[in-house]
Amino acid sequence: MQRANLTTDLSPDQSTQLSDLGIVILSGLMSAAFCGRLRSRIARLHELEGERAGAEFKQEPGCLRLANLVAKGEEFAEVIGCPEVLACVLKVLGPAIKLSSLNARTALPGCPSQPLHADMGAVVDPQGYWVCNTVWMLDDFTSDNGAIRYVPGSHRWGQLPQDSLNDPSAPHRDEVLITGPAGTVVVMNAHLWHGGTANRTAASRTAIHAFYCRSDKPQQQHQKTLLPAAVQRGLSPELRALLALDDPLNDELAHSKIRRSGFLV
């Protein structure tokens, strides 16, 4: 992946942001060329999949979704294995992680706001945090086109917004918008209360979500089942481990009864 020459070590400021706020913003991680490759591939996949797009997971009113992207283009492997991003994920989840899902979400003009939620309806357990999401901005995120709002520090509260708020869809007094130019990547402790806002512009806004979890938890989308054998054979040992393709525990966990989304049913 063409990107800026960034260190894989977190700065003290980045580490503090993840711990205290629940997010860190990696500006300029993707080059314009790489963003363009990803946008083109996503547009082509929407053409090929049509109304089936996103059906491996969830579809969302007002949005175009894609799921199971590891199986759908070599460039997506570069996303999930990015060392700068993985360093941040490891800071949140600890040393034992795996990819939970790799999806794309396009907020169409008129797309409504999402309610505040934590991914997978996850609450911290005795071992600590177990979900971490990353947002790869393929378009500029602005205050008008569906940027993500979040409530700083809410990952530390041990509560879900639907259990604590009268209306999780309403504005929160402490919420902050995540805005930035295309090429930015945001790493978010996914216990953080967050949600996409309404797209009030005439243009769509696209991002890729590379979602990770702790190794003792089930994947949002069981990668071994979804990935064709030919794709699995072409993966490096490092990516196979990140996808938990050879982990018997992960296969057992795939049958767990657990919420797969924080707000979609």
Which residues are paired to 196 by β-bridges?
Answer: 148
CATH, residue 100? 2.60.120.620
User: Mean pLDDT in the chain?
Assistant: 94
- The answer to the question of residue 254 being in a domain is no
Would you say residue 138 lies in a domain?
A: yes
pLDDT of residue 58: 84
Tell me, yes or no, whether 212 lies in a domain. Answer: yes
Say how many domains are in the chain. 1
CB 116 within 8 A of CB 72: no
pLDDT category at 76 given cuts 50, 70, 90 is: very high
**Mean pLDDT calculated for residue range 137-163:** 97
pLDDT over 70 at 7, yes or no: no
* DSSP 8-class letter at 200: -
Supply 218's token pair: 């089930």
The answer to the question of residue 196 being in a domain is yes
| β-bridge pairing 194-196 and 97-107 | unpaired
176 lies in a domain? yes
Residue 216: domain span: 12-245
Amino acid at 43: A
Position 265 in a domain = no
Please indicate, yes or no, if residue 259 is contained in any of the structural domains: no
- Would 127 be classed as within a structural domain? yes
Q: Tell me, what's the pLDDT at 8?
A: 58
**Averaged pLDDT for residues 22-46:** 97
Question: Of 242, 208, 217, which Cα lies nearest the Cα of 227?
Answer: 242
